Amino acid sequence: MLLTIDSGNTNIVFAVFDGDEVRGEWRSSTTTERTADEFGVWLTLLLGTADLKPDDIDAAIVATVVPANVFTLKTLCRRYFKCEPLVVGEPNVELGLEIRLDHPEEVGADRLVNAVAAHARYDGPLIVIDFGTATTFDAIAANGDYLGGAIAPGINLSLEALHMAAAKLPRIAIGRPTEVIGKGTVSAMKSGVYWGYVGLIESLCRRISDELGAPATTVATGGLAPLFAEATDVIHHLDQDLTLRGLLEIHRRNV
């Protein structure tokens, strides 16, 4: 079985694949202070809840946007699962796409993994929106090449910045307001942040499609993707497992 590890700025997602089937999926907060042994004990216990044990894992692949976590996650795989993990971004890992940028090394591993998964699952050209700590918009050519994209502050970062910078504005939770015109401070904040973000999504998708020169299929992933996918018709597919499926596909291209 394959252990996939997607280490983002906020959460680390661990998933076990048995062929195409996800046997278990778990999340941990991202911290560079947690040791390989702490991850190992925690993950071993969780494997048991899915009737799995460490010996069932015979391969692993890691994608991380936190370089300080690479050593810890490699050690986890070696010590607890007796395998040498593939790490997306290292020279020996083939993605099967061309990165058409001036500085390919600057692209986050998660964005490339999403590009691989989207091209494997949907017809291009494509736009992939990943709602994470930052919200990323990635353009993928019809042949699967990675073309670049845009990075915007994540919706929760925007909410926190609004609260921190304005003395009278409270900290609020994101949600879809029933009305655009807020009748109070909190409802006005919710409307401005939510519908303003929908406007950002629609504008960027339209402009990216214009630059691609053809209508693009838009795929949304990430924790808050369902909240925004229901509000606009520029998002054509909601795919919560896109990054994990991309790791599975990359592993298959390299075994």
Residue 110 lies in a domain: yes
Asked whether the beta carbons of 162 and 169 are under 8 A apart, the reply is yes
Q: What is the pLDDT of residues 98-114, one digit of tens each?
A: 999 988 888 888 899 99
| Ligand-binding site membership of 100 (annotated) | no
Whether residue 78 is found in the same domain as residue 108: no
> Was 135 annotated as part of a binding site?
no
Around Cβ 90, how many Cβ atoms within 10 Å?
11
In the block, tokens 């500085």 appear at 103
Instruction: Indicate if 58 and 169 belong to the same structural domain.
Output: no
Q: Is 143 annotated as a binding residue?
A: no
Task: State the DSSP H helix or E strand holding residue 87, giving kind and residue range, or none if neither.
Answer: strand 86-87
Residue 249 confidence (pLDDT) above 70: yes
Listed residues 87, 119, 151: the one ending a domain: 87
Question: Per the annotation, does 12 bind a ligand?
Answer: yes
- Which domain does 14 fall in, by range? 2-87
Average pLDDT over residues 137-155: 94
- If one compares 157 and 203, the residue with the highest pLDDT of the two is 203
Do 223 and 113 lie in one domain? The reply is: yes
Burial of 136 per CB tally in 10 Å (0-12, 13-18, 19+) = buried
User: Beta strands 2-7 and 86-87: pairing type?
Assistant: unpaired
- CATH assignment at residue 71: 3.30.420.40
Do 55 and 30 lie in a common domain? yes
Give the model's confidence band at 167: pLDDT under 50 very low, under 70 low, under 90 confident, else very high.
low
Given the residues 20, 102, 110, 138, the one annotated as active site: 110
What is the reported pLDDT for 34?
Answer: 80
Is 137 within the bounds of a domain?
A: yes
Closest CA to 128 of 98, 97, 151: 151
Better-predicted residue by pLDDT, 175 or 201: 201
Is 145 known as a binding-site position? no
- pLDDT tens digit sequence for 72-81: 999 999 999 9
Mean pLDDT score of the chain, rounded to an integer?
90
> Is 66's pLDDT higher than 90?
no
Into how many domains does the chain fold?
2
Task: Say how far apart CA 66 and CA 238 lie, in whole Å.
Answer: 26
126 and 169 belong to one structural domain:
yes
Q: What pLDDT score does 4 carry?
A: 96
> Distance between CA atoms of 27 and 88, rounded to whole angstroms?
19
Residue 91 CB burial class (10 angstroms; 0-12, 13-18, ≥19) = exposed
* Residue 217 annotated as binding site: no
Q: Give the Cα separation of 73 and 39 in Å (integer).
A: 8
Active site residue 102: no
The pLDDT assigned to 176 comes to 87
Judged by average pLDDT, the poorest of 26-40, 52-66, 80-94 is 26-40
Q: What is the pLDDT of residues 206-248, one digit of tens each?
A: 999 999 999 999 999 988 899 999 899 999 999 998 999 999 9
Q: Assess whether 127 and 155 both reside in one domain.
A: yes
Give the Cα separation of 190 and 180 in Å (integer). Answer: 9
In a shared domain, residues 80 and 124: no
Which residue among 56, 87, 118 closes a domain?
Answer: 87
pTM of the model: 0.86
Do 71 and 131 lie in a common domain? no
Domain contains 253 = no
- The pLDDT assigned to 172 comes to 76
Token digits for 215? 């209508």
State which of 34, 62, 87 marks the end of a domain: 87
